[in-house]
Amino acid sequence: MPLRSFHLLAVSAGLLAAACAAQAQTQAPLPAMHGEGAVRWACGGIGSDESTAMRAAMASHPLSLLFARADGAYLASVDVQIQGAASARLRAGGPVCLIDLPAGKYTVQATLEGVTRSQSVTVGGGPRTLDFRF
């Protein structure tokens, strides 16, 4: 291999490695999972890096919850009650919650500033997302 081709190959490999490292650094870690009985959850999404990481992880959890105002502004500090095949109460520390729970039928209530929204969902067979707008 001529020296010039080898040099170009080495530079290209270096640029690719730098790009991969930069991408890995921008991927924010997910918040820690918490649990109550058979239900485990992680809520977050504050900041664009964590929001991107949380949204990417939604496909890996049976249920995801999104919280926003009617105008699309994200919300945090939403009280959540999950009732059904398993139950839990939590306070969402961000606009996205990743929920791991057994397959079954559930009612999810989200309360913000005295306003409660309720949705029913069947979990199992693929990830589901509930969008709560206040």
Give 84-119 pLDDT, tens digit per residue: 999 999 999 999 999 999 999 999 999 999 999 999
Phi (first) and psi of residue 107, to 5 degrees: -115, 130
pTM given for the model: 0.79
Out of 2.30.42.10, 3.20.20.70, 3.40.50.300, 2.60.40.10, select the CATH number for domain 34-133. Answer: 2.60.40.10
Instruction: Enter the DSSP assignment of 2.
Output: -
Q: What is the DSSP string of 8-32?
A: HHHHHHHHHHHHHHHHHHHSPPPPP
What confidence category does residue 55 fall into, taking pLDDT thresholds of 50, 70 and 90?
Answer: very high
Instruction: Give me the percent of the chain exceeding a pLDDT of 90.
Output: 78
Kindly report, residue by residue over 9-31, the tens digit of the pLDDT: 333 334 334 444 444 445 689 99
Integer-rounded Cα Rg, in Å, for the chain is 20
What pLDDT is attached to residue 64? Answer: 98
